[in-house]
Amino acid sequence: MSFTLLCGRFELDLGRPFVMGIVNATPDSFSSVPADSAAPGGGLDPDAVIAHARLLLAQGADILDIGGESTRPGAQPVDADEEWRRVAPVLEAMRDCGVPLSVDTFKPEIMRKALDAGADMINDIFGFRQPGAVEAVAGSKCGLCVMHMQGEPRTMQQSPSYGDVAAEVRQFLRERVRALCEAGVSGRRIVLDPGFGFGKTAAHNYELLGRLDQVVFDELPVLLGLSRKSMIGAVTGRAAGERLAGSLAAALAGVERGARILRVHDVAETCDALKVWDAVKNNGATV
């Protein structure tokens, strides 16, 4: 299935799966930036983060997703000034790198600043539910990643509960897409994210991945963020830094079920896995 995503300065033909490289500018996320790269006052040294972004680009990333606030379970909030201090230098340095730049934020003020600074996509874990979020992005040309989350990062994993996880995630995403479209947003700008690990048990996550075709609607593309998450550890028993093999297996399972964008820490390895998957799918025609 092909879909052209309008994404700021770019039009992305999602006829093949895209790899979105994770660029964390915060020390309390899963990150491949060296742990000794902390900057005074918090965050990570911008030069180290920029170097990591360039490495992911060289490894084959189709999109870079820059984040200045951790959203992992139990994460503590970061104020807007600090978040922008972390994100701005990376966004500026990578502005002309040749691939779309996404900013991972749920704060409308950061969305506006990021778009003014040249961001091509806003990736919002709250699904543009914060007051002013829809208004911040509606008049732009940026791509929008709409994610499902039950609860909020500090408490979302305490007692997640669903009657039918796939149906409820689908309904939530439908409502958020409707709100965006009513504000004048073209559906060609929208990507869906089921929100693996955000207010879901491991069993919920695997059921959701297995039933991914029941979550999508209107042929909107799906982005999957599975890389190194606790759902991988729940099956393998491995710590976050040892979950590469499990993450690749989950990513390919998602692609087989229609996912178009994979948000990952390990770009080179994911690109290799996709090349092999594509060669098998096309009976060797791409070799």
Just list the catalytic residues: 229, 263
Handedness of CA 149, 150, 152, 156 (dihedral sign): negative
Q: How far apart are CA 262 and CA 134, in angstroms?
A: 24
DSSP code of 76? P
CA distances from 282 to 276, 279, 287 (A): 10, 5, 9
- In 86-231, the DSSP E strands lie at 101-104, 121-124, 143-147, 190-193, 223-224
Structure token pair of residue 12: 């992305």
Residue in 208, 135, 229 with CA at minimum distance from that of residue 165 = 208
Phi, psi torsion values for 233, nearest 5 degrees: -65, -30
Contacts of 248 (CB under 8 A, 6+ apart): 266, 269, 270, 273
Q: What is the bridge-based pairing of β-strands 4-7 and 10-13?
A: antiparallel
Counted residue by residue, the chain has a size of 287
Q: How far apart are CA 269 and CA 265, in angstroms?
A: 9
